[in-house]
Amino acid sequence: MEAVEVRLQATVSASDFDEHYQMAFVYCMDEQRNYCFSLSRFPDEERIEVMVRDQLVCKVDDVSVTLEGRTMNVALDSAVAARLDGESGYVIALNAAEEDLPGIRAALRKIFEGKSGLRVAG
């Protein structure tokens, strides 16, 4: 059986350190599907928090994320997917302006500091 990935058209907000939440995050919301996907990490935390839908959360040591232009591809291992909503792949088209992309890249780099799962291309 071929893996099917969730495809989202999402607005995105990101910060490499948000004063209010005291963490780095990338939050993606597909309003049409009412589906959110986020990655976050507190400065003193070793693990990355993955959240899908609304508050289905799993903390992981690392996760595979590729950011290419305005597209973020995420691959979750089956154990993590099972703890969330069963989906293991995401292709997220980010509705972001060109000037927002450096902030998104900075937030992802902060979230993945000391980790190996992030690849930024283009």
Q: Residue 71 is part of which domain span?
A: 6-121
| Residue 116 placed within a domain | yes
| Residue 1 placed within a domain | no
**Paired residues of 26 in beta bridges:** 14, 39
Please state the domain count of the chain: 1
| Residue 56 placed within a domain | yes
Amino acid present at 52: V
| Residue 25 placed within a domain | yes
Report strand pairing: 6-18 vs 23-30.
antiparallel
Q: The pTM is what?
A: 0.94
The pLDDT confidence band at residue 1, using thresholds 50, 70 and 90, is very low
pLDDT, tens only, 60-96:
999 999 999 999 999 999 999 999 999 999 999 999 9
Torsions phi, psi for 83 (to 5 deg): -80, -15
Distance of CA 121 to the CA centre of its chain: 16
Distance of CA 95 to the CA centre of its chain: 14
| Residue 115 placed within a domain | yes
